[in-house]
Amino acid sequence: MSPQLSQFRRVVLKVGSALLVDRARGRLNHAWLAALAEDIADLHAKGADVLVVSSGAIAMGRTVLGLPSGLLKLEESQAAAAVGQIALARTWSEVLAHHGITAGQILVTLSDTEERRRYLNARATTLKLLDMRAVPVINENDTVATSEIRYGDNDRLAARVATMIGADLLVLFSDIDGLYTAPPASDPNAQHIPVVERITPAIEAMAGGAASELSRGGMRTKIEAGKIATSGGTHMIIADGRAKNPLKRVTEGGRCTWFLTPSNPVTARKTWIAGALEPRGTLVVDEGAALALQGGASLLPVGVRRIEGTFHRGDAVMIRDENRVLGRGLVAYDADEAARIIGRPSREIETILGYVGRTEMVHRDDMALSD
């Protein structure tokens, strides 16, 4: 049995260029976007955190600049993105403001979710916006991304973002209502698959190619996004986004494909920290801090007695007391700065370092304790 949309607390919605932009008329699909904003407002009003990964900057910008159809040179794409991103951000801000919701724009590149220091910054900013009940609108920074470093499509970007912020559901809106046993446009006998328990080679083989000139995606990249999402503890849906109120349609039982994960975002993240990262140093904590950590607290500088090794912000470090290893975590400071603030109250960090740093040496969300 498929899950229900109402049971998820943090939802990422991916909206593609082909849905947002009507290329035939050279403008935004305002009525469709307004209806999606209604869906977002309904979900938001029920207490869920909502984040949008939105394509469309290049598609909007090329229309404004009068660029021809077909493939663009890299610098043309970047120029189109620079123009289109302003219009796209303004539009999202306006349609969400109509429902009393504040939008926040975040532009990311591959390095922002792959390099741990920048990953922590992007994650902290996004989580703070969600904590303040804003709706972050994220897009790849096409104005500076090059073919060597870009994601290549916003399906995978959305999956990376979903796992980064601990979302428990990712919804990919597409021009198709889910995964079929074969591309339905070319195979009339193709059958719809409502639930994918696990992405196997057979499931991957069902994916086709890219769908339109506005999109760099296609079913193949959606399956890749599914692998990223489900391995990070995030369920995923592929749903038809062309109708008005596409999220409401899913809520009411509209046909889609669910990709299920056996894990959850917290467990998957803790597993990643505990086993996939090589520690670069050690934080030795006092008895009080060790007890606080076991009770679910973050590690504050005041509880650290000494540091060992050379590490940088975002690196994995061992956390231990004088007798045993307590766990691992992603440290919020470089080793030289950490050495200056250990044993000191967090309120003194600004005075010591000259800037307002993180209150925690290692936040509890960035920590995996040993059993």
Q: Which domains does the chain have, with CATH numbers?
A: 5-265 (3.40.1160.10), 277-369 (2.30.130.10)
Is residue 273 over pLDDT 90? no
Q: In the prediction, which pLDDT does 25 show?
A: 66
174 known ligand binder: yes
In this prediction, residue 142 has a pLDDT band, given cuts at 50, 70 and 90, of low
In this prediction, residue 27 has a pLDDT band, given cuts at 50, 70 and 90, of confident
Q: In the prediction, which pLDDT does 207 show?
A: 78
Give the residue-averaged pLDDT of 55-79. Answer: 83
Is residue 129 over pLDDT 70? yes
Closest by CA to 238, choosing from 176, 159, 165, is: 176
Give the residue-averaged pLDDT of 129-156. Answer: 75
Choose from 20-24, 26-30, 150-154, 190-194 the range with maximum mean pLDDT: 190-194
Is residue 196 over pLDDT 90? yes
Q: In the prediction, which pLDDT does 169 show?
A: 97
Report the first-to-last Cα separation within the chain, whole angstroms: 33
175 known ligand binder: yes
Q: Is the sign of the CA dihedral 37, 113, 339, 300 positive or negative?
A: positive
Is residue 223 over pLDDT 70? yes
Q: In the prediction, which pLDDT does 246 show?
A: 95
Q: In the prediction, which pLDDT does 26 show?
A: 62
The two structure tokens encoding residue 245: 């109120």
Q: In the prediction, which pLDDT does 20 show?
A: 87
Choose from 11-25, 42-56, 195-209 the range with maximum mean pLDDT: 42-56
366 known ligand binder: no
More confident residue, 86 or 99: 99
Instruction: Confirm if 108 and 140 have CB atoms less than 8 A apart.
Output: yes
Give the residue-averaged pLDDT of 306-319. Answer: 93
Q: In the prediction, which pLDDT does 112 show?
A: 72
- For residues 369 and 326, give the distance between their C-alpha atoms in angstroms, rounded to a whole number: 6
Give the residue-averaged pLDDT of 193-199. Answer: 93
128 known ligand binder: no
Give the residue-averaged pLDDT of 291-299. Answer: 94
Please state the three-class secondary structure of the chain as a single string: CCCCHHHCCEEEEEECHHHHEECCCCEECHHHHHHHHHHHHHHHHCCCEEEEEECCHHHHHHHHHCCCCCCCCHHHHHHHHHHHHHHHHHHHHHHHHCCCCCEEEEEECHHHHHCHHHHHHHHHHHHHHHHCCCEEEEEECCCCCCCCCCCCCHHHHHHHHHHHCCCCEEEEEECCCCEECCCCCCCCCCCEECEECCCCHHHHHCCCCCCCCCCCCCHHHHHHHHHHHHHCCCEEEEEECCCCCHHHHHHCCCCEEEECCCCCHHHHHHHHHHHCCCCCEEEEECHHHHHHHHCCCCECHHHEEEEEECCCCCCEEEEECCCCEEEEEECCCCHHHHHHHCCCCHHHHHHHHCCCCCCCCECHHHEEECC
- For residues 83 and 65, give the distance between their C-alpha atoms in angstroms, rounded to a whole number: 8
Strands 192-193 and 179-180: antiparallel
Give the residue-averaged pLDDT of 24-39. Answer: 87
Burial (CB count <10 Å: 0-12, 13-18, 19+), residue 161? buried
In this prediction, residue 144 has a pLDDT band, given cuts at 50, 70 and 90, of low
Instruction: Confirm if 170 and 234 have CB atoms less than 8 A apart.
Output: yes
Give the residue-averaged pLDDT of 215-244. Answer: 86
Q: In the prediction, which pLDDT does 286 show?
A: 95
In this prediction, residue 87 has a pLDDT band, given cuts at 50, 70 and 90, of confident
In this prediction, residue 359 has a pLDDT band, given cuts at 50, 70 and 90, of very high
Q: In the prediction, which pLDDT does 149 show?
A: 39
Residue with tokens 């899913």: 250
The two structure tokens encoding residue 310: 């050379």
